[in-house]
């Protein structure tokens, strides 16, 4: 699989060219097609619509111009797709960063909650002890009031 992220697109004479197409040679491809044509072996793509049927009536130069224009459009489409992929990659990186920050914030908040819960338990126990002591003191006051006329 070809990593679109690492592709570099250049413009040469108004035609976008991918630098990262390792192993692809337009010259080799053209040579192979020419060899097949010389041998009389025609490709099995008679329903191929690269050049419309009227293209058969066009001259060779017109066909070449047509194919170059079509290539240019396809390369522009590819450049647009590469651009969109890079844009999506950047968006993914931003979302990953936001997710990491949110997870760190969540961890920090969990620690804070835990600390506050332990403090709440501590204050509940202190409150219960204070209430118990208050009740004992109230009983003492009641007992002393009975002793004193």
Query: Could you identify the residue written with the tokens 């590469």?
Result: 82
In whole angstroms, give the CA distance from residue 67 to residue 60: 10
pTM across the whole model: 0.47
Q: How much is the pLDDT for 113?
A: 97
Per-residue confidence at 32, pLDDT binned at 50, 70, 90?
Answer: confident
Average pLDDT, the chain: 79
User: Highest-confidence range of 18-22, 34-38, 144-148, by mean pLDDT?
Assistant: 144-148
Strand segments (E) across the chain? 9-12, 15-18
In whole angstroms, give the CA distance from residue 132 to residue 130: 5
Question: 46: which DSSP letter?
Answer: T
The C-alpha angle with vertex 8 and arms to 2 and 12, in degrees rounded to 5, equals: 125
The C-alpha angle with vertex 106 and arms to 104 and 108, in degrees rounded to 5, equals: 70
Per-residue confidence at 5, pLDDT binned at 50, 70, 90?
Answer: very low
Q: How much is the pLDDT for 1?
A: 38
Q: How much is the pLDDT for 15?
A: 47
| Percentage above 70 pLDDT, the chain | 70
Whole-angstrom CA distances from 132 to 47, 119, 120, 124, 128 are: 96, 20, 18, 12, 6
pLDDT above 90: residue 94: yes
Q: How much is the pLDDT for 33?
A: 73
């Amino acid at each position: 699989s070809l990593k679109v992220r690492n592709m570099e697109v250049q413009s040469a004479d108004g035609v976008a060219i991918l630098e990262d197409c390792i192993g692809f040679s337009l010259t080799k491809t053209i040579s192979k097609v020419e060899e097949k044509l010389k041998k009389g072996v025609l490709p099995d793509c008679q329903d191929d619509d690269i050049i419309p049927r009227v293209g058969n009536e066009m001259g060779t130069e017109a066909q070449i111009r047509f194919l170059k224009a079509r290539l240019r459009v396809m390369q522009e489409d590819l450049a647009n797709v590469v651009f969109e992929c890079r844009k999506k990659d950047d968006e993914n990186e931003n979302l990953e960063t936001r997710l990491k920050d949110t997870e760190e914030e969540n961890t920090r908040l969990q620690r804070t909650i835990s600390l506050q819960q332990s403090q709440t338990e501590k204050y509940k126990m202190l409150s219960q002890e204070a209430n118990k002591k208050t009740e004992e003191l109230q009983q003492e006051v009641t007992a002393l009031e009975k002793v004193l006329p």
